[in-house]
C-alpha cells in the first residue's frame, strides 16, 4: 500500500511539523484547521491549508488527527461519509487507549482502517509558529494496532513515519500508555512540582541556573493541553506519582536523619539508571 496524499487535521506545533516534514518528503499535503488565521499562517509556510473540513479529506490516502483526543469523535462523525473507502486513519495523540476506544470502532464499522501513532517529539512550545520540519528526526514513533488492521497497512504507516525521519516501534495501546505515563507524563508533573517548590520565593529566580531551568523547562507547556493529557492517562500517571511520592518520602527521611551513606547509595543507584540512557 503506497501513500502519497496526506491530510492533517490540526495546525498546531505537531500537526504543523508533520505537514512540513511530509511536504519536504514529497507527499501531497493538506492541512486543515478551524481558525482562519492559523490556516493563513500555514499558507505563509508554503503549506496547502484550508478551513473546509470536507474538502480537505475528500482525496486523503492517509488522514492524521493532530487535534485533542476530546474532539476526535466529533470530527470523525463529520468526515466519515466523505472519506475514501481505502483511506488509512491515524492520530498523534499522547495517549492511545482513548482513540482506539472512541474512534477506532467508528472507522471499523465503515470498513476504514484506524491505527494509532505517537511520535515522541515536541517541546514546551505550542502553536504553528513552533513547528519545524526536522522535529521528528530520530524520534521514536509508537504504532498501536489494537483494531488489528491488516499488517500491510501497518507497514505502510511505519514507512510513512520512517520517511519523515522517525523510528517506528509497535506496542499495544495499554503498553504505550503505561510507558509514557512514566517517561513523559510523570516527568512533566515533576517539572511542575519543581517549578512550584523552587519558585515558592519568587526572588530566588535571580539565582536560577541551568540545572533548575533544565529540570523545570517543560512546566512552561500549555496548561490546558497537559491537564487533558494527565486526566486521559490518569491510571498510569497515578501509579507513577505514587512511586515518586514514596521515593520523595524516603529521601526526606534520609535528609532529616542526616543519613549520608544511605543517600549516597540511593543517588548512585539512580545515577547508574540515568547513565544507561543512550
Stated pTM of the model: 0.92
Tens digits of residue pLDDT in 132-183: 999 999 999 999 999 999 999 999 999 999 999 999 999 999 999 999 999 9
Q: Report how far residue 221's alpha carbon sits from residue 147's, in angstroms, rounded to the nearest whole number.
A: 32
Site of grid cell 507524563: 185
Q: Cβ neighbours of residue 78 under 8 Å, at least 6 residues apart?
A: 53, 54
Ranges of CATH 3.40.50.720 domains, the chain: 5-171
CATH placement of domain 176-275: 1.10.3660.10
- Among residues 110, 253, 117, which one has the least CA distance to residue 176? 117
CATH 1.10.3660.10 boundaries in the chain: 176-275
Which CATH code for domain 5-171?
A: 3.40.50.720
Torsion region of 136: left, alpha or beta (phi above 0 gives left; psi -120 to 50 gives alpha): alpha
pLDDT tens by residue, 55-112: 999 999 999 999 999 999 999 999 999 999 999 999 999 999 999 999 999 999 999 9
Tell which residue, 218, 260, 249, has the closest CA to residue 123. Answer: 218
Amino acid at each position: 500500500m503506497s501513500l502519497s496524499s496526506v491530510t492533517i487535521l490540526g495546525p498546531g506545533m505537531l500537526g504543523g511539523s508533520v505537514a512540513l516534514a511530509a511536504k519536504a518528503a514529497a507527499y501531497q499535503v493538506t492541512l486543515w484547521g478551524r481558525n482562519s488565521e492559523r490556516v493563513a499562517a500555514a499558507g505563509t509556510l508554503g503549506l496547502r491549508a484550508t478551513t473546509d473540513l470536507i474538502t480537505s479529506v475528500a482525496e486523503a490516502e492517509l488522514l492524521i488527527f493532530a487535534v485533542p483526543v476530546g474532539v476526535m469523535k466529533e470530527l470523525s462523525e463529520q468526515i466519515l461519509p466523505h472519506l475514501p473507502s481505502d483511506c488509512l486513519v491515524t492520530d498523534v495523540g499522547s495517549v492511545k487507549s482513548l482513540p482506539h476506544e472512541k474512534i477506532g470502532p467508528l472507522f471499523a464499522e465503515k470498513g476504514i482502517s484506524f491505527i494509532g501513532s505517537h511520535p515522541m517529539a515536541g517541546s514546551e512550545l505550542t502553536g504553528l509558529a513552533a513547528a519545524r520540519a526536522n522535529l521528528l528526526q530520530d524520534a521514536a514513533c509508537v504504532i498501536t494496532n489494537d483494531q488489528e488492521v491488516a499488517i500491510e497497512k501497518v507497514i505502510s504507516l511505519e514507512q510513512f513515519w520512517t520517511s519523515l525521519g522517525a523510528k517506528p516501534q509497535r506496542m499495544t495501546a495499554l503498553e504505550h500508555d503505561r510507558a509514557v505515563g512514566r517517561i513523559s507524563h510523570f516527568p512533566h508533573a515533576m517539572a511542575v512540582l519543581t517549578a512550584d517548590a523552587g519558585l515558592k520565593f519568587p526572588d530566588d529566580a535571580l539565582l536560577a541556573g541551568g540545572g533548575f531551568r533544565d529540570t523545570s523547562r517543560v512546566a512552561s507547556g500549555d496548561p490546558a493541553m497537559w491537564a487533558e493529557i494527565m486526566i486521559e492517562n490518569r491510571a498510569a500517571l497515578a501509579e507513577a506519582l505514587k512511586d515518586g511520592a514514596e521515593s520523595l518520602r524516603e529521601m526526606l527521611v534520609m535528609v532529616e536523619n542526616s543519613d549520608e551513606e544511605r543517600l549516597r547509595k540511593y543517588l548512585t543507584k539512580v545515577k547508574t539508571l540515568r547513565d544507561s540512557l543512550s
